[in-house]
Structure 1
């Protein structure tokens, strides 16, 4: 996510960094903006209420979602920035191009009343850091709030490196397993998050639009940081890869990558009954 819910970075971040740093989020912001599916903005605009809009940005980080999306939506707007890192919240509040307030807290504790009066809920690089139960609860909260939800840059489990080499598939498979790891008693969804979120919203009667939003990385600092984090996470999951890591990173210097993500827009729906949940009929 743009902010920091989990102790490891998501599919787009340095995997072994304890927290999401402002430096990393700033480095990736241009790639994020280029990747997000602008095609979803028009159907989103079509279902928004008249302004002023109230937008809740979950895991806002440095505020990159507001900087990308706010200029594309009707004005005036007020953004409610949620994160558990006070430094990131302060940075975001000072730099977003609209009226904003901050809310410090853990997003897994989010309740529908926290979103009262919302016109839109947004998040970036969040869903893959959640568990099945947390994604289901988030869908319930968004639907109960009665507003559309836009989730961008969820990991898709697709990485294409150029030029290809045989070790790519081994590192990719280990990384995907790392994204699905169990940590702190939580089993993360990783690349399965898009399907889980879609199912959770559809089960509640929402209409879900999805578009691919791949990162396209050329040689440079962002590619280098992403690659090191990707390899480190793969090695953490599959220690046998460590003997190949240094040579692989050296050979990959100057390479290019397409890192798959998906954006979701969920519109409408109705809250489930108390007995419904993941896997229920």
Structure 2
């Protein structure tokens, strides 16, 4: 899971914040302790962008445990609350590690995990009887306006690239919902789409180049057409005519009565 670029994480933070499903906050807060400080584990925390969004929206005093396997990201991690950083592997996380916690969170994590890791994560969280807010997982739908004949081939190739090596990619939300639900959790999902375009030109351009590069890596036969596609899309963006919706979903898993 290492290798995420801090500059990319910074570039996308405002789009992430705008996309997050705020209507999941009310049921989440109902599941949290009414008094006392909250102990929040943020898994795959990156530089802490989810905590920077969520911490001001929770009423209690908080202590965040920012957990990631990338020491370079942990060195930059900050949230507007008491926090500590811990380096560790999600595959080794167990319910006993979460003793004393109030909440588990993650952002843009599920889709870069394998089915076994998502199942293990659900097992640890449900065994600890904790709520989990797992946000911004890609779901495999990208809509670009104006349309281009190459859009569909690039989208399909990108989705295949997301599934490489057995990763869940756009199947992550369905797999996580099943894994938590099978263990008795009350699972709720909400759409949390990125909306890109002329108001975020740097992010839109960076996303577009990364999207196309991943698609071409998966399907090299698309390479000869990709340069022309990027030129057309750069022209659309330059005249403020390119709009993109990248579908994501947020998942809230609450301890159920049978857990």
Q: TM-score band, normalised by the shorter chain?
A: over 0.9
Matches within 5 A, 1:87-102: 87-92=72-77, 95-102=78-85
Residue 36 of structure 2 corresponds to: 51
* Gapped regions of structure 2 (runs ≥ 5): none
Task: Please show how residues 122-161 of structure 1 align to structure 2 within 5 Å.
Answer: 122-161=105-144
The equivalent of 2:56 in structure 1 is 71
Q: Deviations over 1:141-188 (max 9, x none)?
A: 010111100000000101000101111000000000111111xxxx10
Runs of 4+ in 1 over 2 A off after TM superposition: 269-272
Q: 1 CA distance for matches of 2:177 and 2:193? A: 18
Matching residue of 1:215: 194
TM-score by length of 2: 0.94
Structure 1 portions without partners, runs of 5+: 7-18, 273-281
Query: What does residue range 1-281 of structure 1 map to in structure 2 within 5 Å?
Result: 5=1, 19-49=3-33, 50-92=35-77, 95-182=78-165, 187-219=166-198, 220-253=201-234, 254=237, 255-269=242-256
User: 1:251-276 CA deviation, whole Å, 9 max, x = no partner?
Assistant: 0110221000000000014899xxxx
Report the TM-score when normalising by structure 1. Answer: 0.87
Which secondary structure does the structure 2 equivalent of 1:97 belong to? coil
Aligned partner of residue 55 in structure 2, secondary structure: helix
RMSD, aligned CA: 1.3
